[in-house]
Amino acid sequence: MSAEKNIKKSTEQLEAIGEKVDTVLIEKIVKRLGIANQSVDASHVAATDPSEIERLKKNFVIKKLEQKDDAATDKAIADAMEKMKPHRMKQRGAVYYLLTVHFGKKSVYVK
């Protein structure tokens, strides 16, 4: 799957849950996913897999968004998963977008 398709799918998922999407931000987030855009499995977040959520927390929220490993971080991830609940296949770009906006870290992607 291409980055363009993942941008489109992520945007559609976000709009379906009532998010007003910053198109520049979602494009930057998805394009930075790199090789994850080419694999259907890697382009989605397995919300029911504890190891996937732990990787999301450590590799994205803590490392990329520079957040602490605390209850607030866990709650933000849980809230994002709850928002995305209507979607069985949660686009990684959409989940990253929700977390980036939640933590006020747009500057990580858009200068």
Residues 39-89: tens digit of each pLDDT: 888 899 999 999 999 999 999 999 999 999 999 999 999 999 999 999 999
Number of domains in the chain: 1
- What's the whole-number mean pLDDT along residues 99-108? 97
SS3 81: helix
pLDDT in the model for residue 26: 98
CATH code: domain of residue 83: 1.10.238.120
Residue 23 has pLDDT above 70, yes or no: yes
- What's the whole-number mean pLDDT along residues 23-32? 96
pLDDT over 70 percentage in the chain: 99
Tell me the residue range of the domain where 63 lies. Answer: 3-108
pLDDT in the model for residue 13: 98
Residue 1 has pLDDT above 70, yes or no: no
pTM of the model: 0.95
**Whole-number Å distance between alpha carbons of 57 and 61:** 5
Instruction: Provide the mean pLDDT of the chain.
Output: 94
